[in-house]
Amino acid sequence: MKNTDSKAILLLGRIGSVLSVIMYVSYIPQIMNNLNGNYGSPIQPLVAGINCTIWVIYSYFKSQRDWPIFIANLPGVFLGFITFYTSLH
């Protein structure tokens, strides 16, 4: 039974990582809109960028690195801050 739980948790972690990356990649259309003068609110991407930075630091510096958390949040660091920057008028 424990082996089944481990497989289920591993699958859940992979799905969560993929969904996180997709969520942050979805900032690309907003970045394009911002660059075309259709500015969005800068607050949510700023908070996302800060949140992802904290998770990336946490996952990297743990005694046993947590690569799924690191990989899932790394795009959010860059895309969150780029979206924030481009949304400033």
> pLDDT tens, 16-58?
989 999 999 999 999 999 999 999 999 999 999 999 999 999 9
- Residue 83 CA to residue 89 CA, distance in Å, equals 12
Contact 78, 30 (CB under 8 A): no
In the chain, domain spans: 2-87
**What does R_g of the chain's alpha carbons equal in angstroms?**
16
2-87: CATH class: mainly alpha
The pTM of the full predicted model, rounded to 2 decimals, is 0.84
H-only helix segments in the chain: 2-25, 27-35, 43-61, 67-87
